[in-house]
Amino acid sequence: MNKSKIMVIDDDKKSLELMEAILIPKGHEVITISDPLQAVALIVVNKPDLILLDVMMPMLDGYSLLSEIKKNNTISKIPVVMLTALGFELNKELAQNLGAVGYLTKPVDSAELIQTVSHLLPVI
């Protein structure tokens, strides 16, 4: 059985650990990245099945990184779900306009995260 590969990009170590704690027991391989400036190169190398992307990060925010991902033909088809404490409709709309397929607010509800991931990833 192949595991789904999920990449989590977030500058907050506790958020990365929480995502691992939720997703690994569900049988997913989780790759964490805390430096958004390295993310595009690491996405190209690792080719995840799904990306969970924090919005508020230093140096490069999630929206800018999402734009970079969607401009890169090698990785543009990978679904991206935004993670943020910004729950406003305007931010959701911006994320969708940039190509995100989902938007989860922090602190992430584990049941909602699992449901979103299950919906986006085929059973392998």
58-69 pLDDT per residue, tens:
899 999 999 999
Phi/psi for 116 (5° steps) reads -65, -45
The pLDDT tens digits of the residues spanning 10-45 come to: 999 999 999 999 999 999 999 999 999 999 999 999
For the segment(s) 5-120, the CATH number from 3.30.2130.10, 3.90.79.10, 3.60.20.10, 3.40.50.2300 is 3.40.50.2300
Locate the domains of the chain by residue range: 5-120
Q: In which element (H, E) is residue 90 found? A: helix 89-98
- pLDDT (0 to 100) of residue 87: 65
Determine the Cα–Cα distance for residues 124 and 122; give it in Å rounded to an integer: 6
- pLDDT (0 to 100) of residue 124: 46
pTM, two decimal places: 0.94
Average pLDDT over residues 59-83: 96
